[in-house]
Amino acid sequence: MGSLDSSGGTLQPYAAMCGLAVLLFIFLTGGTEAFRICAFNAQRLTLAKVAREEVIDALVRILARCDIMVLQEVVDSSNTTISLLLRELKRLDSARHYSFLNSSLLGRSTYKEKYVFIYRSDKTQVLNSYQYDDSDDLFAREPFVAQFTLPSKILPSVVLVPLHTTPKDVEKELNALYDVFLDVSQRWQSKEVILLGDFNADCASLTKKRLNQLLLRTEAGFHWVIPDGEDTTVRASTNCTYDRIVLHGQGCQSLLQAAAAFDFPRSFQLTEEEALSISDHYPVEVELNREAHSVQPLCLTMLLLLALLPTHLGPVA
C-alpha cells in the first residue's frame, strides 16, 4: 500500500488514472463479444421436420450462434415448431433466455410461410414491429419489419427488414425492398437498417448486370456485406450468393466487424445428404461491435501518453 509515495507522491494519481483508462478501455472494446445477427432459410421448416433429432440438433447449434436469428420458410400455422426449438435451446444453455416474434403466414397461394425472429431476450428487446403494407402485391412474402435494441451506445437500436423473394420476381421484389426501407426509416425516424434474407440474388434468378442496376446498389449508403461470389448454398454442384445482408446507416457500418455465410456442414462434419436434410442454404451472419474500431488506437495512444506523463510533468520533489 502506498509504496509509490516514496518516489515523491506524484506517480500515484497517474497510475490510478492509467488503471482507470485500462478498465475503461477493456469495458469499451474488449471483454465483450460482438453481437451477431443471422438470417437462415430453413427450407420448409415444419413440426415434422424439427421433430427429427438430427435436424433439431443442428438447428439449435446454428441458432445458438446468433443473438438475433431471422428464420425464413417457417411453415407452421401454430407456434409449436418454434416452441420446440426454444425448449431445446434452453436445454443447451439454461443461462440464456430466448424469445421470438413471428409474422402471420404469408403467400399468394395455399403454400404460405412466415418470418420468425428468435432472439436472446437477455441481450436485446423488440422495440417495434409491423407487417409492411403491400397493397400493390409486389411481394410474395412482404417483409415483417422489427426494431431491436442493441448493447451499444453508438447504435442503441437497429431495424431488421427480412425478405425471402420468390425466384421468378427477384428484381421487382428487391427494388420494392428499397421502398420498404424508405417506409420504415420515415415511420421510425431511423436510417440504421439491416435488410437480410434469401434474396435469390444470383445465378439463374438474377444476372450480374441486373443485380448491379438494383436501387439497393445504385442508391448511396447501402453496404452489401455478403459479397458477390460467396457461396450460400449447400450443394457442391451450386455456387450462388442467394442469401444476403445489406447494411444501411453510419452506426451499422462503423460497428461492422465481420460478415459471412456459415458453412454448417463443414463445422458439424455433415455429409451433403445430411446437411440437405436441414437446409439447402447456409445461414448468413453479421457481427457488430459495441464500439467503433477507431476507438481502439485512440485509447492505446491515450494510455501511452498517460504512462509517459509523470516523468515529464510531475513536480520535482
The set of catalytic residues is 113, 164
Q: Select 34 or 126, whichever has its Cβ closest to ligand NAG.
A: 126
- Name which position in 57, 169, 183, 231 contacts ligand NAG (CB under 6 A): 231
Q: Which of 73, 122, 121, 123 is nearest to 101 (CA)?
A: 121
The kind and range of the H/E element at 230 are none
The reply to whether 179 sits near ligand NAG by the rule CB under 6 A is: no
Rounded to the nearest whole angstrom, what is the least distance from the CB of residue 223 to ligand NAG in the complex? 20
Residue range at the interface with ligand NAG (CB under 6 A); choices 48-56, 74-82, 195-203, 216-224: 74-82
Q: Which stretches does DSSP call E strand in the chain? A: 35-45, 68-74, 98-102, 114-120, 126-131, 144-149, 157-162, 193-198, 222-224, 243-248, 256-261, 284-288
Rounded CA separation 35/151 (Å) = 8
Contact 84, 122 (CB under 8 A): no
Rounded to the nearest whole angstrom, what is the least distance from the CB of residue 82 to ligand NAG in the complex? 8
The kind and range of the H/E element at 16 are helix 11-28
Rounded CA separation 246/227 (Å) = 10
Rounded to the nearest whole angstrom, what is the least distance from the CB of residue 236 to ligand NAG in the complex? 8
Q: Select 209 or 312, whichever has its Cβ closest to ligand NAG.
A: 209
Binding mask 91-130 for ligand NAG (x = CB under 6 A): -----------xxx--------------------------
The reply to whether 229 sits near ligand NAG by the rule CB under 6 A is: yes
Contact 270, 264 (CB under 8 A): yes
The reply to whether 134 sits near ligand NAG by the rule CB under 6 A is: no
Enter the DSSP assignment of 262.
-
- The residue written with cell numbers 515523491 in the block is 8
Q: Select 112 or 217, whichever has its Cβ closest to ligand NAG.
A: 112
- Name which position in 239, 250, 257, 267 contacts ligand NAG (CB under 6 A): 239
Give the other-Cβ count within 10 Å of 15's Cβ. Answer: 14
The reply to whether 77 sits near ligand NAG by the rule CB under 6 A is: yes
State the number of binding residues for ligand NAG (CB under 6 A).
9
What is the grid cell recorded at 29? 472494446
Output phi, psi for 161, to 5 deg: -120, 100
Contact 44, 75 (CB under 8 A): yes
Residue range at the interface with ligand NAG (CB under 6 A); choices 76-84, 200-208, 216-224, 278-286: 76-84
Rounded to the nearest whole angstrom, what is the least distance from the CB of residue 205 to ligand NAG in the complex? 15
Rounded CA separation 153/20 (Å) = 19
- Name which position in 3, 6, 78, 110 contacts ligand NAG (CB under 6 A): 78
The reply to whether 297 sits near ligand NAG by the rule CB under 6 A is: no
Contact 286, 225 (CB under 8 A): yes
Rounded to the nearest whole angstrom, what is the least distance from the CB of residue 276 to ligand NAG in the complex? 16
Rounded to the nearest whole angstrom, what is the least distance from the CB of residue 226 to ligand NAG in the complex? 13
**Where along the sequence are the contacts to ligand NAG (CB under 6 A)?**
77-79, 102-104, 229, 231, 239
